[in-house]
Amino acid sequence: MKAIVAALSLAMTAAPMLAPAALAQDKPEQLGMGIFTFASGPAAAYGMPGRNAAELMIEQINADGGIGGVPVAPTYVDEAQGGEGVVSEFRRLAGDGSTDIMVAALSSGNCMALAPIADQLEMPMVTWNCDTHQLFLNAEHPYVFRPNSSTVPEFVAYAAYAAQKAPDATRIAIINPDYAFGHDAAAIFTAAMKAFNPNAEVVVELFPKLGTQSFNTEISRIAAARPDIIFSNMWGGDLESFARQASARGLFRSSQVILALGESILQRVELPEGVIVGVLGDSFWNAPDAKQEALDFAAAYNEKFGDYPVFPGMKMANTILVVKTAYEAAMEANGGTWPTKDEVLAALDGITAETLTGTVTVREDHDGIVDQIVGMTTGGTGTPELAEMVRYPGAAITPPVGADPIEWVSTLTPEFAAELPAPGSLN
Partner 1 sequence: MLHFIIILALAAAFAAIPAFFPWLAFVFTLVLAKGFAALGVAILLRAGLISIGHALFYAVGAYTVGFLSSRAGVNLLIPQLVAAAVVSGLFGLVIGLFMVRYRGIFFAMLNLAVSMVGYTLLSKLYTLTGGTDGLSIATPRVLGMTVGREAFEAILLYGGLGLAFVVGIVVHRYLKSPMGEALPAVESNEIRLEYLGIAVPRVLLFAYVGSAVLAGIGGAIHALIVGHITPDLAYWTTSGQLVLVAVLGGIGGVAGPFIGATFLESVRAAAVIYAPDAWNIIIGAGLLVVIFFLPRGLHGLIERITRKGERP
Partner 2 sequence: MDFLLPMLVDGLAASALIFFIAVGLTLVFSVLRVLNVAHGSFYAVGAYVAVTIGGVVMSAGAPQWLSFPILFLSAALTAALLGPVIERTFIRFTYGKPEAVQILVTFALFLIFEDLQKLVFGVQAYYQDAAVNVLGISDIGGIIYLNYQLLLIALAAAVVVALRVMLHHTRLGKMIVAVVADPEVSATLGIDTRRVYMAAFTIGVFLAALGGALASPNSGVAPGLGAEAIVLGFAVAAIGGLGQIEGAALAAVIVGIARVLAIYYVPQLEPVAPYLVMLAVLLVRPYGLFGAATQRKI
Is 302 a binding residue for partner 2 by CB under 8 A? The answer is: no
Distance CA 33, CA 70 (A): 12
Nearer to partner 1, 107 or 255 (CB): 107
Which among 60-68, 73-81, 236-244, 313-321 is the span making contact with partner 1, rule CB under 8 A?
A: 73-81
Strand order in the sheet with 352-354: 352-354, 359-362, 368-369
In the shown chain, the binding pattern of residues 30 to 59 toward partner 2, with x for contact by CB under 8 A and - for none, equals: ---------xxxx-xx--x-----------
Which of partner 2, partner 1, none does residue 240 bind (CB under 5 to 8 Å by kind)? partner 2
Nearer to partner 2, 217 or 410 (CB): 217
Q: Which residues contact 78 (CB under 8 A, 6 or more apart)?
A: 37, 38, 39, 40
Q: At closest approach, how far in Å is the CB of 164 from partner 1?
A: 32
Category of 126 on φ-ψ map: left (φ > 0), alpha (ψ -120 to 50) or beta: beta
The 3-state DSSP class for residue 37 equals: strand
In the shown chain, the binding pattern of residues 140 to 179 toward partner 1, with x for contact by CB under 8 A and - for none, equals: --------------------------------------xx
Which of partner 2, partner 1, none does residue 84 bind (CB under 5 to 8 Å by kind)? partner 1
Q: At closest approach, how far in Å is the CB of 216 from partner 1?
A: 22
Distance CA 396, CA 350 (A): 18
Cβ atoms 416, 194 nearer than 8 A: no
In terms of DSSP H, where are the helices of 122-179?
A: 151-165
In the shown chain, the binding pattern of residues 234 to 253 toward partner 2, with x for contact by CB under 8 A and - for none, equals: --xx--xx--xx--xxx---
Nearer to partner 2, 171 or 268 (CB): 268
Number of residues that bind partner 2 (CB under 8 A): 33
Cβ atoms 107, 46 nearer than 8 A: no
| Residue from 383, 420, 399 nearest 290 by CA | 383
Residue from the set 92, 221, 291, 363 that interacts with partner 2 by CB under 8 A:
221
Alpha-carbon separation of residue 408 from 101, 111, 153, 400, 421 (angstroms): 33, 24, 11, 9, 20
By CB under 8 A, the residues from 179 to 208 that bind partner 2 are 205-208
Q: At closest approach, how far in Å is the CB of 123 from partner 2?
A: 28
Q: Per DSSP, which regions of 215-345 are E strands?
A: 229-232, 256-259, 276-278
Cα distance from N-terminal residue to C-terminal residue, the chain: 72
Q: Regarding beta strands 31-37 and 201-206, do their DSSP bridges make them parallel or antiparallel, or are they unpaired?
A: unpaired
Q: At closest approach, how far in Å is the CB of 112 from partner 2?
A: 22
By CB under 8 A, the residues from 80 to 109 that bind partner 1 are 81-85, 87-89, 91-92, 94-96, 108-109
Q: At closest approach, how far in Å is the CB of 180 from partner 1?
A: 4
Q: At closest approach, how far in Å is the CB of 38 from partner 2?
A: 8
Cβ atoms 172, 203 nearer than 8 A: yes
Q: At closest approach, how far in Å is the CB of 253 from partner 2?
A: 9
Q: How many CB atoms lie within 10 A of CB 343?
A: 19
Instruction: Name the phi and psi angles at 187, rounded to 5.
Output: -65, -45
C-alpha 219 chain-centroid distance: 28
Which among 152-160, 188-196, 233-241, 399-407 is the span making contact with partner 2, rule CB under 8 A?
A: 233-241
Distance CA 29, CA 22 (A): 9
Which of partner 2, partner 1, none does residue 244 bind (CB under 5 to 8 Å by kind)? partner 2
Cβ atoms 132, 112 nearer than 8 A: yes
Radius of gyration of the CA atoms of the chain, in A: 22
Q: At closest approach, how far in Å is the CB of 210 from partner 1?
A: 9
Where do contacts with partner 2 occur on this chain (CB under 8 A)?
Answer: 39-42, 44-45, 48, 178, 205-209, 211, 213-214, 216-218, 220-221, 223-224, 236-237, 240-241, 244-245, 248-250, 268
Where do contacts with partner 1 occur on this chain (CB under 8 A)?
Answer: 1-2, 5-6, 9-10, 12-13, 39-40, 77-78, 81-85, 87-89, 91-92, 94-96, 108-109, 112-113, 116-117, 120, 132, 134, 139, 178-180, 183
